[in-house]
Chain A
Amino acid sequence: MKIERRKFLKLATASACLGSASIAKSQESFPGWPNRYGMLMDTTLCIGANCRKCEEACKKVNNLPPHDTPLSDNTVFDQQRRTDPENYTVVNRFPNPEDPEKPIYVKRQCMHCNEPACASACLVKAFTKTPEGAVIYNKDICIGCRYCMIACPFNIPAYDYFNPLTPQVRKCTLCYDRITDGKIPACAEICPNEAITFGKRNDLIPLAYEKIRKHPGRYSSHIYGENEVGGTSWLYLAGTDFEKIGFPAHLGTAPYPSFTREFLSSVPLVLTIWPVMLIGFYKFSQHRQKVEKDSRDSEIGGNE
């Protein structure tokens, strides 16, 4: 059987294009949108107990069902909670190694990474990192594979497991609709102790360093989110090691999309080299068979 050369060329071009689209996209190095917003969370200011007003405000602006128990119910702190489809943000309590009388409260929600793992994982581009800094989700194209949840290093995206027809991935939007309207995110607005500061990320980092410089005893010198996984829009200050207050340690500073870059860039190589190699094998085996046949025929001589 002969391979039509034109058909093969067409095929090779098409496959090379398919592959190089992936590589071109994945190799852009992204320093981050210059004017993106961020949030600076000062965990030393969060009062936690009898408050959780940020959780309540978040539920209101996102039309989520209200809490089952009153905000004064502090037994919720007895266990670690994570984000779920009805809670885009949760406040957790951790023992304070320096002062057992004063537990540490930490609000968690989507970190809004500069180069989000969820967005690089999504096969239909349902996640977008907007120039404002928010990582937002498009429910109209999501197929529900949940690879974003596998990829997120902070275990934030949550899924509507009990919705058979219109399940969505759910997470904090950085109040994208509010910030594009000129308002500030609901949690930052409601916080009674001003533990959350909303602003341009480029202004928040010097502000955080200023706080560390002024109160060296109060803060550890690490701003969580400044460089983690390539930097996040949410930045955290704390008086202790971040590992001890529920943050994943050793995430490194490499953005998550870089972990699959090498593999994706090998794709066009396979798509261009494999066809030639395989056709080579095919031609070689055909040639060998012909040689064998010819030598058999000459041995048999004129018998046939």
Chain B
Amino acid sequence: MAHVSTRALRARNWLSDKILMGNSLSEYVRNHITPFNIIAAIILLVGLPVTWIRFTQGLGAATNLSQTNPWGLWIGVDVLCGVALAAGGFVIGTAVHLLGMKKYYPIVRPAVLTGFLGYFFVVIALLYDLGRPWRLPYPMFVSYGVTSVMFLVAWHVGLYLSVQFVEYSPALFEWLGLKTFRKWAMRLTIIATIFGAILSTLHQSALGAIFLLAPGKLHPLWYTSFIPVFFFISAIIAGLSMVIFESMLSHRIFSHQINSRDHKNSGNLTLGLGKAAAAVLFTYFCLKWIGVAHGHHWALLNTSLGHWFLLEVFGFILAPCALFFWATRRHNASIVQVAAIWTVLGIILNRVNVSIIAFNWNQPDRYTPSWMEFAVTITIITVGLLTFRFIVNRMPILYRHPEFADEHGH
């Protein structure tokens, strides 16, 4: 009896210590009634019944998808944008662990966590969109469609999710105090980073290559044989910009967790990332024109979708590129952050153009998302943010765990 109650006490202590951050349940709940949490709760109150409708009445009851427009917001935004914006994990991991840019070490963990959660919630979104989501493992274990680009995407996203878990896991094991597990996970860092970079190169570009099978449907200004390269390059840009954006938010919301040295240094890191973003954006801008030249589509520029294309290329690639350049020259980290947000919007615009706006451009039956599709997308993003906050508040993501502090940095 005494033994049982000790165990119960220990479990309660663990719960209070690890999950409730040292509070009792009532204190924890009271401390968490904040405007952000109230909004999040309202979003979930809408999202959950919509989820019910989707899974009990079919895709048609919740979405505006049609026979001619089989993909909508959930593929265009949740999956295509989600994967691109989660590229920060692989970009920063490669820079620090493989290229030896050690000064970015403090942002590896937040970048990897953003990447891991990004991919995790992409898979959740995919479960909403698949007609029979419980068959998600079929391409891995049941039937192999090796001629399909989608087969490659399925395998690589699945493998990459596991790789990102390995990369993230040292923080988890430090939190749980599992030293042996942590040691093994740390040993896998380099191989996981290499594997992650390979998988990312392939599935980021494969997401673009998916549209190679739709030459008559995707507008010629977006349909080019370079589309896999565009998706890959723009994912690097998206990754860099998201890391800038994410660290901007972290330094405001979680500033108490960040030590003063990292805090002072963050402007410097932001400028470095901004320089990289400017360079890659400019490359992307040039490649976009090579794409137009390659297809001889100059005449299409002076059509309504042509103007839309020019808006994307000048307004959301060249303009933020110039802003990044200007801001890094003047050592202005805040403007770099503005440019990063602008760039993120540009990447979202590109993915929405390819999958929705310039897709089926010549069809009378056009698609606009239903409110329920928006509700699901917003719900998934909200749950993603809550999960990120949950982890950052508990695990050593933004700071070095005191017990393992010496072992960081190599």
* Separation of A256 and B215 alpha carbons in the complex (Å): 9
A267 at the interface (CB under 8 A from B): yes
Q: Which of B58, B155, B201, B202 has a CB less than 8 Å from the CB of A161?
A: B58
Which one of A123, A160, A260, A267 contacts B213 once the chains associate, using CB atoms below 8 Å?
Answer: A260
B124-166 contacts to A, CB under 8 A, are 129-133, 135-136, 138-139, 142-155
Say yes or no: B149 contacts A260, CB within 8 Å. yes
Question: Cβ of B100 and Cβ of A288 under 8 Å apart?
Answer: yes
Establish whether residues A257 and B131, one from each chain, have CB atoms under 8 Å apart when the complex forms.
no
Q: Does A120 have its Cβ within 8 Å of any Cβ on chain B? A: yes
Alpha-carbon separation in the docked complex, A123 to B153 (Å): 9
The digit string for B294-335, where 1 denotes a CB below 8 A from any CB of A, is: 000000000000000000000000000000000000000000
Pairwise interchain contact B70-A260, C-beta atoms closer than 8 A: no
**What are 26 A-B contacts defined by CB distance under 8 Å?**
A25-B146, A117-B213, A121-B150, A123-B148, A124-B139, A124-B142, A143-B130, A143-B138, A144-B131, A144-B133, A145-B130, A146-B131, A151-B213, A158-B67, A159-B67, A159-B131, A160-B58, A162-B57, A163-B58, A164-B55, A259-B213, A260-B212, A263-B209, A274-B197, A285-B99, A289-B100
Distance (Å) between the CB of B37 and the closest chain A CB? 32
Whether B213 contacts A120 by the Cβ 8 Å rule is yes
By CB atoms of chain B within 10 A, which of A117, A124, A167, A259 has the most? Answer: A124
Set of chain B residues within 8 Å of A191, measured between Cβ atoms: none
Task: Select A22's contact among B146, B190, B194, beta carbons within 8 Å.
Answer: B146
B67 to chain A: which residues have CB within 8 Å? 82-84, 149, 155, 158-159
Q: Which of A59-67, A275-283, A296-304 lies at the interface with chain B? A: A275-283
Let me know if B131 and A142 touch, CB within 8 A.
Answer: yes
Chain B residues with CB below 8 A from A223, complex form: none
Give the complex CA separation of A119 and B148 in angstroms.
8
| CB of A153 within 8 Å of the partner chain | yes
The answer to whether the Cβ of B205 comes within 8 Å of any Cβ in the partner chain is: yes
Asked if residues B138 and A22 are in contact (CB atoms below 8 Å), the reply is: no
B94 contacts which chain A residues (CB < 8 A)?
A: 278
Which residues on B sit within 8 Å (CB–CB) of A76?
none
Please tell me if A11 contacts chain B, counting CB pairs below 8 Å: yes
Residues on the A chain within 8 Å of B198, using CB: 15, 270-271, 274-275, 278
Q: Are B132 and A282 in contact (CB under 8 A)?
A: no
- Closest B residue to A259 by beta carbon equals B212
Q: How far is the CB of B238 from chain A (nearest CB, A)?
A: 20
Majority SS of interface residues in chain B? Answer: helix
Number of interface residues of B (CB under 8 A): 65
B106 at the interface (CB under 8 A from A): no
Residues of B within 8 A of A120 (CB): 147-148, 213
**A13 CB-CB contact with B under 8 Å:** no
A282 touches B98 (CB 8 A): yes
Q: Is the interface of A mostly helix, strand, loop or mixed?
A: helix
Whole-angstrom CA separation of A163 from B139 in the bound complex: 22
CB nearest neighbor in A for B225: A262
Given contacts A143-B139, A161-B59, A260-B149, contact A3 B190 (CB under 8 A): yes
15 further A-B contacts with Cβ under 8 Å, apart from A141-B142, A145-B130, are A15-B198, A117-B213, A120-B148, A120-B213, A143-B133, A144-B130, A144-B133, A150-B71, A151-B213, A155-B68, A159-B67, A161-B63, A162-B59, A263-B209, A274-B198
A8 vs B209: C-alpha distance in the bound complex, in angstroms? Answer: 28
A162 nearest CB across to chain B (Å): 4
Contact A151 B214 (CB under 8 A): yes
Closest residue on chain A to residue B195 by CB atoms: A11
Verify if B372 is at the interface (C-beta below 8 Å from A).
Answer: no
- Pair B145/A149 contact, Cβ less than 8 Å: no
B61 at interface by CB-CB < 8 Å? yes
Q: Using Cβ atoms and an 8 Å threshold, which residues of chain A touch B97?
A: 282
CB distance from A282 to the nearest CB of B (A): 5
B350 close to chain A: CB less than 8 A = no
Q: Closest CB of chain B to A152's CB: distance in Å?
A: 9
Distance between Cα atoms of A122 and B154 in the complex (Å)? 11
Cβ of A142: which chain B residues have Cβ within 8 Å of it? 131-132, 135
- On whether the beta carbons of B202 and A164 are closer than 8 Å, the reply is no
What 1/0 flags go to B176-208 for Cβ under 8 Å of A? 000000000001011100110110011001100
Q: Does B216 make an interface contact (CB < 8 A)?
A: yes
What 1/0 flags go to A120-140 for Cβ under 8 Å of B? Answer: 111111100000000000000
Cβ of A278 and Cβ of B98 under 8 Å apart?
yes
Mark B48-77 against chain A: 1 for CB-CB distance below 8 A, else 0. 000000011111110101011011000000
Residue B256 interfacial (CB < 8 Å): no
A33 surroundings in chain B (CB, below 8 A)? none
1/0 contact trace for B89-121 toward A, CB 8 Å? 000001001111010000000000000000000
Considering only residues 1-58 of chain A, those with a C-beta below 8 Å from chain B are 1, 3, 7-8, 11, 15, 18, 21-22, 25-26
- A125, A251, A270, A285: the one within 8 Å of B216 (CB): A251
| In the assembled complex, B45 has its CB within 8 A of some CB on chain A | no
Q: Is A250 an interface residue (CB 8 A)?
A: yes
Please, which residue of chain A has its CB at the minimum distance from the CB of B63?
A161
Q: Is the CB of B201 within 8 A of A125?
A: no
Q: Mark A252-269, 1 if CB is under 8 A from B, else 0.
A: 000011011011100100
> B210 — which chain A residues lie within 8 A by C-beta?
147, 150
Residues of B within 8 A of A22 (CB): 146-147, 151-152
CA of A151 to CA of B209, assembled, Å: 12
Partner of B150, one of A7, A123, A263, A270: A123
Residue pair A282, B149 in contact (C-beta under 8 Å): no
Within 8 Å of chain A (Cβ to Cβ): is B217?
Answer: yes
Identify the closest chain A residue to B197 (Cβ): A278
- The residue in chain A whose Cβ has the minimal distance to the Cβ of B135 is A143
**Is B228 among interface residues, defined by CB-CB distance under 8 A?**
yes
Q: Are B130 and A282 in contact (CB under 8 A)?
A: no
- Cβ of B98 and Cβ of A21 under 8 Å apart? no
Could you tell me the distance between the alpha carbons of A288 and B65 in the complex, rounded to whole angstroms? 55
Question: In the bound complex, how far is the Cα of B70 from the Cα of A121, in angstroms?
Answer: 14
